[in-house]
Structure formats: C-alpha cells, structure tokens
Amino acid sequence: MPVIRNLSRAVRRAYRHTVDLSHPARSPLGSAVENCLVYQEGGRQPGDWAPAEAVRRARGAGRDGFVWIGLHEPTAEELADLAGLFGLHPLAVEDAVHAHQRPKVERYGDTLFAVFKTVRYVEHEQLTATSEVVDTGEVMVFVGRDFVITIRHGSHGSLGPLREALEKLPDQLQKGPSAVLHAIADQVVDDYLVVMDAVQNDMETVETAVFAERTARGDAGQIYQLKRELLELKRAVVPLHRPLWTLAHEPPAAVSPKIQPYFRDVADHLARATEQINALDGLIDSVLQAHVAQVTVAQNEDMRKITAWAAIVAVPTMVCGVYGMNFDHMPELRWTYGYPLVLGVIATLCVVIHRGFRRNGWL
C-alpha cells in the first residue's frame, strides 16, 4: 500500500528533525494539553482552539471534520472536562490517567479506547549488569465519530512528528479519526522493529564475548540484564497482537471501513517483530546455557589440574615421610649414594606421572 509506505517514510524523516511541539499556552485545562487541533476535508484549520470551541467548529452544520486533542500525563481533574465534553466512559478515563495498562482495544458505545506500549532504545557505551536498554511508555487513544484524543505517558513517543507527517497526506486525513489511530499504531510497531535491531546488536556483542577467548569470557550479569530488558520489550510487543487483529478483522464502528485494510499491514509488521523477539529470547537462553557450560568446563579443568599436581606431589611426600621416620634399620641408610638415588627416584616418578597427565590432557 503506497500510502502506508509514504506515511512511514514521512514519519521517519520527521523524527530526524524532532522539535518541541508542545503549546502550553493554548491549554485552558493546564500544561497537560499539548495541542487541540481541528481538521476538515483532510486539512488543518488555522488558529488556537479551546476544546469546546473546536468541537463546535468540527460539528457545525455541513461540516465533516474532527478534533485532535493531544495530552501528556494528564491528571484526573485535567481529564474530567474532556470526559464530560466527549462522553468518555469513567473506566477508560481511569485507565488513561493511571497508565501502566496492557496493550488493548475496548469499545464503550460509539467510542473506541486503545492502549499502545511505546518503546525507546537507551544508548549506552557498554552493556553492564545494570544498563538500561529499553525504556517503555504508553500512548492511549480515544476515537469517536468526530474526535480523537491522544494521551501520552513517558518522556518519549512524541506524536508531533507523526502529526506533521499526516498533515502532508490530506487524502489519509479525510478518512477521519481512525486514520490517526492507524498512524499511531503504525509508528508504535515501526519503533518496535527499530528497537529490536538495536537490541540485536547488543545480543551479538554478548554472544561474541561468551564465545571469545577465555580471558575475555562474557559476564553472566550482562546476559541476565539483557534478558530482563528483552522481557520488558516482549511485554510491550506480544500483547498487542490481539488488539491489532481486532482492528484488522473485527473493527468497531469507530473505525472507518476505509482504514480497516491498513491495520492488516500493521499486523504483519507486528508479526515480524514478535517472531524476532521470540528468536532473540531463545538465543539469549542458549547463550546463557553456553556461558554456564563454559564456566562448568573451566571449573572441571581447574579441578583436574589441581588433582594432577596433588598426585605428583604425593610421591615425594610419601618417600620423605618414610625416610623421616626414626627407625634404626632404614634401607640404604649408611650408603654413600643413597640420598642422591632417592632424589633421582622421586624426580623420575614425578616426571613419569607428569607425562602421563599431560598425555591424557589433564595438564
């Protein structure tokens, strides 16, 4: 679908030049409102709008537009006025305020409430046992017939570049609020793939360290930390499968039939991300098992060397113990060459035993 590909490319270009798109001065509800915009016939209407004024303009006679309100971590009080204005369900409003929700899609009458987990790769010079690799946030979306409300939690996942990219595609915006929902889902899943590629690089680094020379063997703490961060990423990616399947195959009334096919493309991208994360999860388990096996083998080698040297030292210890006893009749006690002979026998036995251990790979 060329529109989807154009949108994805536009969003990526916009991310390279991300700027601060918040407008606290516009908000009558407080700094949580980043923007309140009106779109008609695929174009953004100029001006700064309060939510009530924006709704009146979008719902005016003969108008076929919608309102897009963006918020960042609103409080219950800041969201209460919008809930009354758009008739949002109290349970959905509660979820939107408190966050920490699983990815989901819920229907409340004619309103759709969707939750997406956003992810960001945390740059680090070197992976350690305490390195943060993946940072997660949330984007929640209320979609109605003529409005879309986006609520962002976390320090990343700004929708400003996405909005700018959408405004360059008026044909897509003409499809209504569900076009915004699709664009958000598409961006979230594309971010999964970007983060997965970065985590893959960390995985290769850990794998190389584990199978490198013994002096540079990997640290188990690094592997466990990468496993924990991968689990956090998995919690964001895998649960989104069912919501996207619903949007692609059994969409609620709030989703335009013109947008439904686009969600199938997003679901395909999510399937790729899920397969990749499952593959990485299995690979890191194998690397961890290999690391444990290498540690066990190294310990066995050390024990074999200790045992071999103990056997070698046991020979002179035994002979010296015998000659150290205070008996009157010792073999060759008065013989001039007795002492050198005993030392020679000890040395010979030690060399023979040492060669035997070397031949068997113990030393």
| Residues sharing a CB contact under 8 Å with residue 168, sequence separation 6 or more, in sequence order | 10
pTM for the model: 0.73
| Residues sharing a CB contact under 8 Å with residue 295, sequence separation 6 or more, in sequence order | 220
Using alpha carbons, select from 177, 97, 169 the residue that is nearest to residue 138: 97
Average confidence (pLDDT) over 18-36: 47
* Domains of the chain, each with CATH number or no CATH: 2-294 (3.30.460.20), 300-359 (1.20.58.340)
| pLDDT given at position 218 | 56
pLDDT (tens digit per residue) in 223-272: 888 888 888 889 999 999 999 998 888 888 888 888 888 999 999 999 99
pLDDT (tens digit per residue) in 84-133: 888 999 999 999 988 888 899 999 988 999 999 999 998 888 887 788 88
| pLDDT given at position 284 | 86
